[in-house]
Amino acid sequence: MSILLLETAALILCYMLLWWVIAMVVKDNGLADVAWGLGFVLIAWWEVFRVASDLVFVLAILVSCWGLRLSAYIALRNRRKGKEDWRYAAWREQWGKQAWWRSLAQVFLLQGLLLWLISAPLLVAAWCPACPLETGWWTFPAVWIGFLLWLWGWIWESVADWQLYRFKSRSGVQGRIYTGGLWKYSRHPNYFGELLCWWGIWICSLPAGGWWLGLLSPLLISWLLLRVSGVPMLESRYETDETYRRYRQSTPAVFPDFRKILNPKRQSGVD
């Protein structure tokens, strides 16, 4: 296991250093967000290459669908903006002459560490490949339950991102808050979908054993999205927006208000 962890850590380190160099050249630390999803894809297929396990292959497919879609969406969104994401731009201005090494440590290397930790279900499955190979991954109910949960999350997240992108592509909507589609039921439906995806991936990995190690993945990403870099950071931008305050009062942050789905006449409280 130690060799597996060290190999994966070295792979991630080289990967993030490469992206950091590119970001320094083009002066856009927002590339770290594109590298995020692709990094999971790299780890997934590295484990497939190292271990002949059906379960690892299944997990790699799920992770790849999630990571490729997310990176493609972020790249498309950044291209439309044509400038560095506001969060990274603010940090660049704040860091001044220290931006080159602080972006390395606080953006790329930190994300690399999180990549490594959140990949725990893949690493556990690669570490314990014998069980799925002997009986077949399709014989384990956990794999099917996890897949259905992942599928729900992947579709939910994809639809939410597509709806928001389509809204922001319209003329005259700059500065306006989108409250339609899935965003009517929660303020961050894309995060809800992402949580379902990673909890589903962890459940899929259960036949490999070591569930307590893989559990680090969904717990960590839940904490990040709900308490750290997800909801708190994004919503801090709208603290003084009265429209968003009303939206916040009537709409839950991440987990959907299914009463609105069952009763479409329920209003969001935002004009």
Distance CA 163, CA 213 (A): 36
Report, as an integer, the average pLDDT of 64-78.
95
- The pLDDT score that the predictor gives to residue 132 is 47
| Structure token digits, residue 56 | 């690892």
- The pLDDT score that the predictor gives to residue 83 is 79
Helix (H, G, I), strand (E, B) or coil at 233: helix
Distances (CA, A) of 193 to 124, 142, 224, 251: 23, 19, 14, 16
User: Tens of pLDDT along 6-20?
Assistant: 999 999 999 999 999
User: Tens of pLDDT along 96-128?
Assistant: 889 889 999 999 999 999 999 999 999 999 887
DSSP state string for 73-142: HHHHHHHHHTS--HHHHHHHHHHGGGHHHHHIIIIIIHHHHHHHHHTHHHHHHHH--HHHHHH-GGG-HH
Residue with tokens 């339609």: 180
Does the pTM of the predicted model rise above 0.95? no
pLDDT band at 265 (very low <50, low <70, confident <90, very high): low
Q: What percent of the chain has pLDDT above 70?
A: 93
User: Tens of pLDDT along 201-229?
Assistant: 999 999 888 889 999 999 999 999 999 98
pLDDT at 237 over 60: yes
- The pLDDT score that the predictor gives to residue 271 is 35
User: Tens of pLDDT along 79-91?
Assistant: 887 778 878 888 8
- The pLDDT score that the predictor gives to residue 189 is 97
- The pLDDT score that the predictor gives to residue 264 is 63
DSSP state string for 30-76: THHHHHHHHHHHHHHHHHHHH---HHHHHHHHHHHHHHHHHHHHHHH
In terms of Cβ atoms closer than 10 Å to its own Cβ (0-12, 13-18, 19+), residue 55 is buried
Q: What is the DSSP letter of 178?
A: P
User: Tens of pLDDT along 148-203?
Assistant: 999 999 999 999 999 999 998 887 777 788 999 999 999 999 999 999 999 999 99
pLDDT at 269 over 50: no
Helix (H, G, I), strand (E, B) or coil at 256: coil
Helix (H, G, I), strand (E, B) or coil at 162: helix
Greater confidence, 140 or 12?
Answer: 12
Q: Where are the domains of the chain?
A: 2-262
- The pLDDT score that the predictor gives to residue 270 is 47
Q: Mean of the per-residue pLDDT values for the chain? A: 89
Distances (CA, A) of 65 to 53, 57, 111, 241: 19, 12, 20, 35
pLDDT band at 4 (very low <50, low <70, confident <90, very high): confident
pLDDT at 58 over 80: yes
Greater confidence, 135 or 247?
Answer: 247
| Structure token digits, residue 256 | 């959907």
- The pLDDT score that the predictor gives to residue 259 is 82
- The pLDDT score that the predictor gives to residue 139 is 79
Greater confidence, 263 or 215?
Answer: 215
- The pLDDT score that the predictor gives to residue 224 is 96
pLDDT at 257 over 50: yes
